[in-house]
Amino acid sequence: MSVPALPVIVRTERVQCFDTLGVLWRGLEAEAEVSFFQSWTWVGCLAAERYPDPILLRAERGGRLAGLALFNRRRGRLHLAESGDAERDRPFAEYNGPLAIDGDAAAALLRAAWDVAGARRLVLGGAPPGLPALAGGVALRQQVREAPFLDLDALRAAGGDYLATLSANTRYQIRRSNRLYAAGGDLALAAAADAATLEAWFGELAALHDASWARRGQPGAFATPWLRRFHRRLMADALARGELNLLRVTGGAGLVGILYNFRHRGRVLAYQSGLADPAGQPHARPGLTCHALAIAQAVSRGDRVYDFLAGGQRYKLSLADRQSSLVWVELARPWSPAGLLARLAGLRRRAAAAGDAAHLARASDN
C-alpha cells in the first residue's frame, strides 16, 4: 500500500538579506535539477538592484525545504527571477522556473504566487512551455520561441565527426572560412582561466559585439554602463564556480571572435559573442568558425549539449540538430476582468478556427 505524499506548504517572505538567501539557494540548488538561469550565479547577480521589491516564496514538505521562487513585484505584476524593468531585464533569462526538487513543489510555488498581496498578474519569462499551466491563470500575451541545440551525446554515439553531420553547404562554408582565417597561422581556441584574462577579453568582446549591433542600427548587449557592470559581475561569479566558458579564437590574421558561453552540468550555453567584421571578405564566417571549434571542444570534453538558446537565426539552425521551445507569458487570474476577456477571446478564436475547418471539409467533399 502506497503512502500518500506529504503536502507542500508554501509561505511568503520578504527578502531581508540577499547574501543569506544565496546560501539557502545554493543548498537547494545542489539537490535539484536546475538550469544555469535558475542558479544563484544568474538569479543572484546584482540582486539588490534587479529586485527592488523582492518576494520570496518558500515551499516545504514535511518540514524540509522543497522549493524557492524569487519574484519582483512591480505595478501589480509578479515577475519570476526578473525585475519587470526593461533595462534591467535586457539580459533575459531562459529555461526559467522556480527552484524546486520536483514538479509538485514547483506547481505549489507558482499557484501560491496569486496570494501575494497586490499581485494581479504573473509574468514568466523564458520558461519551459508546460510551466504556465502549473500556475493556472489565463494568458494575456504569450510568445513562443524555439531554442536550437546540438545533442553531443548523440553526436559521439554516431562517431563524433561533427562536420560530417552538417549539410554540404554549411560544411563547405565552415571549411572555407577556416582556411581564410588560418592563412598565415593555425586557428587556435583559448579559454579564460583567470580574472586578469577575463578583464582583458571583456573589453574586446564588448567592442566587437557592440560594433556588430551598431552596424545594424541597434544597441548591443553591453551598450550601457549598467549592462557592462552586470556582465562583468556575472562573468566573474561564473568563472569562480567553473561555469564560464569564455573562448577566444585567433588565426593567422588575428582575432576571429570571442564566444561568451556558460557551461553548467554538461550543457554549454552560447549566450553572446563578439565577432570580427567580415566586411570585404565574402568567404568569412567568423561565427561558424568560432562555434565549430567550441563544439569540437565540448565533444572532446564530454559535455552533453551545446545550446544556442532562443532565436531562429540561420547560423543556429545550420549548426543545431534539435530544438526545444521556450515561452514568455503574462498570466491573469482566471475570473478577473482581464482573465474573462482573454478567455472569451480564446473561445472566439477556437470557434472561428472550427468554422474554417468545417468549411474546408465541406469544400473538399464537393
- State residue 338's pLDDT score: 61
- The 3-state DSSP class for residue 341 equals helix
Q: How confident is the model at residue 79 (pLDDT cuts 50, 70, 90)?
A: very high
pLDDT cut 90: percent of the chain above it: 83
Higher pLDDT, 185 or 259: 259
- State residue 333's pLDDT score: 85
Alpha helices in the chain (DSSP H): 18-29, 40-43, 47-50, 103-112, 131-135, 152-157, 168-182, 195-215, 225-240, 286-301, 314-319, 337-365
Which residues have C-beta within 8 Å of that of residue 314, sequence separation ≥ 6?
Answer: none
Q: How confident is the model at residue 253 (pLDDT cuts 50, 70, 90)?
A: confident
Q: Across residues 282-290, what is the average pLDDT?
A: 95
The span from the CA of 76 to the CA of 168, in Å, is: 52
Q: Going from the N-terminus, what domains does the chain have, and what CATH number goes with each?
A: 8-136 (3.40.630), 148-324 (3.40.630.30)
User: What pTM did the predictor assign?
Assistant: 0.91
- Residue 217 reports pLDDT greater than 70: yes
Q: Across residues 9-19, what is the average pLDDT?
A: 95
